[in-house]
Structure 1
């Protein structure tokens, strides 16, 4: 069994006649002009890679894992070679529908079910929270556990996974934060988020007892003029090396093209560390920008958002939730677009978008607001790319409780009879918002609690 690092969250796991590629995002921006890869993969390298691939596994829908650009650019090659695609079997069929419409050979993996991909090559996919999934691969007598973005942050959650997949030989895991982590003045929040990612690796290593740990899925930069400040506390491979200098596992930093069979290679590790050291030392080149969107276009995009929301949710249930929910959901939210000077009051149950002079909850560019209304994943993208600022304490929490309704819809959850009493949903809302509120109150303190990731 061999693992070849390609880029970011993408590796090629090979054994016998099976060569499984994971999460191919190799070129171009992601998250609405919010992220860039630290290094891009050239076309000739991608072409050579696909000549060897038999299967592609996509962990979840986020564009740094499911790159629509990749599948459109290389679709003919994937189809011609008969490469089989693997994705988690979930109610939300947007990714699966896209892949089927492109004519790909897709298998939707049932969680916890072993799939035999070839002789002595077995894969199990497990769900994590709402979006993410992990893959456990047993091949050639070795066990590779790829957690990518899964937030395995405590012993209880690690045990749940361990009860299914057991110990592993090689662990691949995210090593830095990858979402909005407070505003410009809240660097302590980002320092805490970076430290927590290292703590997560400790939890995971303690649970799964890997012989080798490969830090990956964090080789990106916040690359917009509005979010580049978020890079100020991100972990680098050197931070991971320093944190695990005395660990009882082999830490293996990899650069594009490196290959490991799970045995230590101090020379390759050192060369990769030096490669990334030079990459991280480069200044951010040509940060991205947005173009202003006229008010009429924003109104039209809102109309589409409102129609989608009302088509997928009971308007009566939304009104009831606004008035009676044990947490304040679907309340009016005010967003100020600082490039146009306009403030908008959004009331989801009423279906209204109105100019206002009221104090804003969030400040963002008009293109960001238009993107939010234009896409069912818009608020999720906004939360990851971080191209906004909180205008008042609790503004992000308030906006999330109102404008993230399509995130729930994409997961098959609708406002209707019984949703208000669904403990899973209420619990997730309360916990995530508690963390955000605690952090915003803790500006200037280093003991801020945990946040969200991509």
Structure 2
């Protein structure tokens, strides 16, 4: 076993280990996530197997989570770790306004450290990690181990040359050269209705363009696409798999240009010797990984069954609680935003219970006649989930378990849940000055855009 080794585990999860220290990244290894919206392509990994391996290694263990999304921050893994891990694991997380993740970890008995933005955290004499917050709750990290550098941009949407340059500038004092780049390669949210495949083709092409931009900017020795080994798995969203990038399509695309020919894939339990890995030495590993993922992608997959229906009263009650929560956190603001026309009432069709309803921060819940034009349609369990959880809109947008009725419906949908998203990001009564500054910045940005 190499003494400076990166072992890939699944999806966005890998660990780097030397003789004394192990750094584990984003362990999601089993179970459906995003309200029954995603499942892993490879279901052969498990929390129990990883914890057994950690117990066998007996190393100083650190765990970094890049964001709160359940395909990175797995509560089931944390429960198994707490139950069966014999050693001590220190959890690392980005600095946030709300301190919610830190509070959750400490409440559940974990040793947790909030990483100051851009501050180097030494794990041992030859390994360190530097965490950088990014937009919408995401973060990226630079890991240095044995003189080699790993840049993990994960879910951070580096979709332009300028965004890539900003990240390069942030890490340049620590790492003039990047050896290994880990980056997402698939679209990871709702992309059109079933009859709009062109949107998904363009989204897949956009992800390939992002990889090209990142490779051109960071010039890594190896680029390892990851964090996309999933399937949309509900009966309501499985159509979204139709034009998703796969390991095979990315490998075929990357082989067409000299600028992208150093793309390599890994499969669960593949080990990369960070000290000696080169494009030439990883060809066989990568091809075997592509074959592995392709065989899983081609295999028949059962979609998750529909959940039990919610009632009309359940939907109305969920919205009433949502309305009360956002208005308590942002007193008067949702009402004002709707009054000014910055938020529009949302009309939703819920076919499984034959309900069309209009939701408003001014007028509350109103049932309207079937046949009334609507913005969004979804099942009753999804509607209740949407209104009942802080991450309701974010999760629903990612799992794609809805349909839009017009070209501008998605924008109306997102704007209606702006108060929920502000609370999710830590804005509200607890941080009035930061909230006022954030809102003022958004208003000025809109004014500049319309000028």
TM-score (norm. length: structure 1): 0.89
Matched, 1:423 2:441: yes
Query: Which of 7, 11, 16 matches 2:14?
Result: 11
Structure-1 separation of matches of 2:444 and 2:49: 46
Q: Any idea what the Cα deviations from partners look like across 1:266-300, whole Å, max 9, x if unmatched? A: 22112111111111111222433222101222222
Q: Check conservation: 1:223, 1:287, Cα contact below 8 A.
A: yes
2:186 paired residue number: 176
Q: Check conservation: 2:94, 2:139, Cα contact below 8 A.
A: yes
Deviation of the 1:47 alpha carbon: 2.8
Structure-1 separation of matches of 2:234 and 2:78: 25
Q: Which moved more, 1:243-252 or 1:27-36?
A: 243-252
Structure-to-structure mapping, 1:373-412, within 5 angstroms: 373-412=387-426
Matched, 1:259 2:283: no
Structure-2 separation of matches of 1:161 and 1:349: 42
Residue 74 of structure 1 aligns to a residue whose secondary structure is helix
1:438 paired residue number: none
Q: Check conservation: 1:33, 1:288, Cα contact below 8 A.
A: no
2:41 paired residue number: 38
Deviation of the 1:214 alpha carbon: 0.7
Query: Which of 138, 144, 148 matches 1:142?
Result: 148
Residue 92 of structure 1 aligns to a residue whose secondary structure is coil
Deviation of the 1:74 alpha carbon: 2.7
Structure-1 separation of matches of 2:64 and 2:271: 19
Q: Which moved more, 1:228-237 or 1:156-165?
A: 156-165
Structure-2 separation of matches of 1:206 and 1:15: 30
Distance verdict in 2 for CA 1:426–1:50, change over 3 Å = farther
Q: Check conservation: 1:302, 1:373, Cα contact below 8 A.
A: yes
Matched, 1:61 2:68: yes
Structure-to-structure mapping, 1:271-282, within 5 angstroms: 271-282=288-299
Matched, 1:343 2:368: no
2:5 paired residue number: 2
Residue 32 of structure 1 aligns to a residue whose secondary structure is coil
**Alignment size in residue pairs:** 425
Q: Which moved more, 1:398-407 or 1:363-372?
A: 398-407
Distance verdict in 2 for CA 1:430–1:386, change over 3 Å = farther
Residue 293 of structure 2 aligns to a residue whose secondary structure is helix
TM-score (norm. length: structure 2): 0.89
Q: Check conservation: 1:50, 1:77, Cα contact below 8 A.
A: no
2:344 paired residue number: 331
Distance verdict in 2 for CA 1:407–1:216, change over 3 Å = same
1:26 paired residue number: 29
Q: Check conservation: 1:330, 1:347, Cα contact below 8 A.
A: no
Over the aligned positions, Cα root-mean-square deviation in angstroms equals 2.1
Q: Check conservation: 1:148, 1:217, Cα contact below 8 A.
A: yes
Distance verdict in 2 for CA 1:229–1:196, change over 3 Å = same
Gaps of 5+ in 1: 432-454
Q: Check conservation: 1:376, 1:407, Cα contact below 8 A.
A: yes
Structure-to-structure mapping, 1:101-112, within 5 angstroms: 101-112=107-118
